[in-house]
Chain A
């Protein structure tokens, strides 16, 4: 019987130690009184995706170009995109409809990884309960669009990296554009030169006499 008591008593001592420590040791007090008090969540937490826009106007500044890469990469197929058109029926590079069914979304972040335009990011908002389980959980374009400032508040590190990447990409595109313009200008100049040389050639022919004059 004394043997029986020994191991159990040792265990009880551990329990007692933990019990008393739970009143004063800070790392033993992890409980947060939820609705009144909110625990801080890390900015890297991912929940559901949202769309980003630049500037003030959500629709004009939309980064998404409706390329549907994310729609195709989404494992449970919960993204639905329809491209926009102007009045004449010409396609515009932005989605008219962009829906994400958050009751299906599995928060996997694959859409974020495939997007080439840095247009879609993961949100970490978590109080998302809704009374309507069909329309309420199907989030449409208007509710998905969030400003870049929102992203900066959400995850400053990643947002800054994204901005840098976009700036670098824009600079590269600008440089390329300039190079292309230069090239086309050169090409145009080249294309123009032959006739100009023909025109200029008579004076060139006249040139030789000039040195003679100078001599």
Chain B
């Protein structure tokens, strides 16, 4: 036989030996419904079992950091909405917090309360949606997700009345918030917050005892306490592994030291715990919201921010407990109105690095659930 005939066809990269060992390479994504965005997992499968996994991302890269280094500080605010597009409010907040550290602006009391209210509402929105999609990944197509979307819609309507947009809110400013509450907003918010536990109860009966969910999610994608710390996981992912670390309690940024709330912690670090931690976190958020609405003081909503934002040379890192984990902005100023360096520490990007470890040895169908339980938004992973 001539050598030409034995050459494999183009793109054929599995040797005969590998085929004999039943190793199959599958590129899952970038357009796969369960990757929640343009994300690819290169899987090596032995039958149904994942023996290797390579996350491939960057399809949604928009140069966020570099753009921010070309425009002035306040002009980056609307771009932060587009990072984690489900949680515009907390992104705004994290960026405002680091800018306020850079130039030391005092934030008025009322603005702090408003930030807490919108931030916790965002947590409800995010967790609602995440749990809905998680159940969707488990195979309960549609119905439970739509219940979650229905509740989320009410909160988004609140955001629309307050800030003008449902998701790209652009609401928080350096030194305060953009506008005060419109008439009747607080009453409506109170109504939704009061009705929320009923929805959570209903959702829990729907899901937590469900045998299929228990069978599919328990002991799947386990991350131990030590591993979670080593992977520098944050947010519900970390707490599901049993580490008591919540930046709202650790840093007590804003006015979080005034509220009475608990941090739910998981014991097993599996998908089910991550799901339950978020469920319980929503209840705690409702508690915080009730206190914040009750205590909301009158007064100014904007501190004394300078007209032209020109910080002295220096650096600042502001971080908050975003719904997905620690969201931080690292700013370096060289004394001009344009940041010298603008770095985002996105929680879902860092949490995603544990994906391979969690998926090895599990089935393909479990890889989908594990990915869902990380709670990624590709806008934030790729920036």
Contact yes or no, A7 B211, CB < 8 A: yes
In A1-41, the 8 Å CB interface with B consists of 3-4, 6-8, 10-11, 13-15, 18, 30, 41
Chain B interface mostly helix, strand, loop or mixed?
Answer: helix
Residues in B with CB closer than 8 Å to A106 are 78, 168
Residues in A with CB closer than 8 Å to B157 are 42
Complex Cα gap A44–B178 (Å): 13
Contact yes or no, A18 B165, CB < 8 A: no
Contact yes or no, A14 B161, CB < 8 A: no
Does any Cβ of B come within 8 Å of A107's Cβ? yes
Instruction: Report which of A4, A44, A108, A157 forms a contact with B78, defined as CB distance below 8 A.
Output: A108
Contact yes or no, B205 A108, CB < 8 A: no
Contact yes or no, A10 B209, CB < 8 A: yes
Contact yes or no, A45 B168, CB < 8 A: no
**Chain A residue total in the interface (Cβ 8 A):** 28
Contact yes or no, A8 B210, CB < 8 A: yes
Residues on A facing B (Cβ under 8 Å): 3-4, 6-8, 10-11, 13-15, 18, 30, 41-42, 44-46, 73-75, 106-110, 113, 122, 157
Instruction: Report which of B75, B153, B160, B206 forms a contact with A75, defined as CB distance below 8 A.
Output: B75
Instruction: Report which of A7, A30, A41, A75 forms a contact with B210, defined as CB distance below 8 A.
Output: A7
Does any Cβ of A come within 8 Å of B32's Cβ? no
Residues in B with CB closer than 8 Å to A113 are 178
Inter-chain pairs besides A6-B209, A11-B207, A73-B74, 17 sampled, C-beta below 8 Å? A7-B214, A10-B205, A10-B210, A11-B206, A11-B209, A11-B210, A15-B143, A42-B157, A44-B160, A44-B162, A45-B160, A75-B71, A75-B75, A108-B170, A110-B78, A110-B170, A157-B183
Residue of B nearest to A77 (CB): B71
Does any Cβ of A come within 8 Å of B150's Cβ? yes
CB within 8 Å for A8 and B147 given contacts A30-B153, A109-B170: no
B169 to chain A, nearest CB (A): 10
Instruction: Report which of B164, B168, B178, B206 forms a contact with A14, defined as CB distance below 8 A.
Output: B206
B159 to chain A, nearest CB (A): 10
Does any Cβ of A come within 8 Å of B257's Cβ? no
Residues in A with CB closer than 8 Å to B251 are none
Contact yes or no, A44 B143, CB < 8 A: no
Instruction: Report which of A3, A15, A41, A74 forms a contact with B206, defined as CB distance below 8 A.
Output: A15
Residues in B with CB closer than 8 Å to A4 are 211
Q: Mark B74-101, 1 if CB is under 8 A from A, else 0.
A: 1111110000000000000000000000
Complex Cα gap A73–B178 (Å): 16
Complex Cα gap A122–B164 (Å): 9
Complex Cα gap A157–B182 (Å): 10
User: Could you list some 21 contacts between A and B, CB below 8 A?
Assistant: A3-B211, A6-B209, A6-B211, A7-B209, A7-B214, A8-B210, A11-B205, A15-B143, A42-B161, A44-B161, A44-B162, A44-B164, A45-B165, A73-B75, A75-B71, A107-B168, A108-B168, A109-B178, A110-B74, A110-B77, A110-B170
